[in-house]
């Protein structure tokens, strides 16, 4: 009887070890397969970091009104100097809001047009105290040519040294879909 128990436990031990080896081998195979497949995945993109400076002015200002706040729609135009020395044109509509307490906000969409015909559409949103630096976000919405399929976001920091003239610094990261 003891021999049968010994044979059963030995057989059971081999079965557990075999099952354990099979599970480990399966997991390693899955990890290897996923690792190889990710190299060929079209959805995989690398993030690019970018910094640039913008200089813009108000081409047109339309007072939208408001009893409690100053609300202005501003058509902005200007240019961008990227970190590598490349230039782009900037245009867009932004709504500026000033509260009676002195808080200022601006939100809107800006188009960046590059010399090679590529462009980026971005959404901007910033706030701060009146006559001080405004801080906020930029979100890349879409792009053309070399920026086709752009996604990403960053921070913006802007100043208005004179009425409706704006200096802005952008720090952002983005990726474009690789075909």
Task: Tell me: do 32 and 53 sit in the same domain.
Answer: no
pLDDT-derived band of residue 18, with 50, 70 and 90 as boundaries?
A: low
One domain for residues 166 and 82: yes
* Residues 131 and 160 occupy one common structural domain: yes
pLDDT number for residue 30: 47
pLDDT digits (tens, 9 = 90+) for 53-75: 999 999 999 887 766 678 899 99
Higher pLDDT, 6 or 79: 79
Does one domain contain both 161 and 125?
yes
Same domain, 102 and 56: yes
The Cα 25–Cα 102 span in angstroms is: 65
Is residue 25's pLDDT more than 70? no
Pairing of strands 119-129, 165-175: unpaired
Both 18 and 71 in a single domain? Answer: no
33 versus 145: which is more confidently predicted? 145
CATH number of the domain to which 153 belongs: 2.40.350.10
Alpha carbons 135 and 128: distance in angstroms, whole number: 6
30 and 9 share one domain: yes
Q: Which residue has the tokens 């040519």?
A: 145
For residue range 101-131, list pLDDT tens digits in order. Answer: 889 999 999 999 999 999 999 999 999 998 8
Based on the fold, state whether residues 19 and 53 are members of the same structural domain.
no
Measured between alpha carbons, how far is 111 from 53 in angstroms, rounded to an integer?
14
In sequence order, what are the residues at sequence separation of 6 or more whose Cβ sits closer than 8 angstroms to the Cβ of residue 92?
75, 76, 108, 109, 110, 111
pTM above 0.75, yes or no: no
Distance CA 57, CA 165 (A): 4
pLDDT of residue 7: 56
Q: What angle do CA 159, 98, 77 make, to 5 degrees?
A: 45
The verdict on 24 and 58 lying in the same domain is no
State how many domains the chain has.
2
Report the relative pairing of strands 48-63 and 119-129 from DSSP bridges: unpaired
Q: Which residues contact 116 (CB under 8 A, 6 or more apart)?
A: 145, 146
Shared domain for 36 and 57, answered yes or no, is no
Residue 147: burial class (beta carbons within 10 Å; 0-12, 13-18, 19+): middle
- Residues 62 and 23 both lie in one domain: no
Domain that holds residue 31: 1-41
> How far, in Å, are 47, 57, 98 from residue 52 at the CA level?
16, 17, 27
What's the average model confidence in pLDDT over 141-146? 96
Q: Are residues 35 and 82 in the same domain?
A: no
């Amino acid at each position: 009887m003891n021999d049968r128990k010994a044979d059963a436990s030995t057989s059971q031990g081999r079965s557990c070890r075999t099952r354990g080896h099979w599970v480990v081998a399966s997991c390693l195979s899955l990890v290897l397969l996923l690792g190889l497949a990710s190299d060929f995945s079209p959805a995989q993109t690398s993030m690019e970091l970018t910094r640039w400076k913008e200089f813009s002015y108000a081409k047109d200002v339309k007072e939208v009104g408001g009893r409690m706040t100053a609300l202005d729609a501003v058509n902005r135009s200007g240019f961008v100097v990227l970190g590598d020395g490349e230039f782009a044109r900037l245009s867009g509509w932004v709504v500026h809001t000033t509260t009676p307490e002195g808080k200022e906000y601006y939100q809107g969409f800006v188009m960046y047009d590059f010399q090679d015909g590529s462009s980026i559409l971005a959404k901007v949103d910033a706030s701060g105290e009146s006559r001080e630096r405004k801080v906020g976000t930029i979100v890349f919405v879409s792009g053309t040519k070399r920026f086709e399929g752009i996604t990403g976001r960053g921070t913006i920091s802007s100043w208005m040294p004179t009425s409706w003239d704006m200096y802005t610094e952008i720090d952002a990261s983005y990726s474009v879909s690789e075909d």
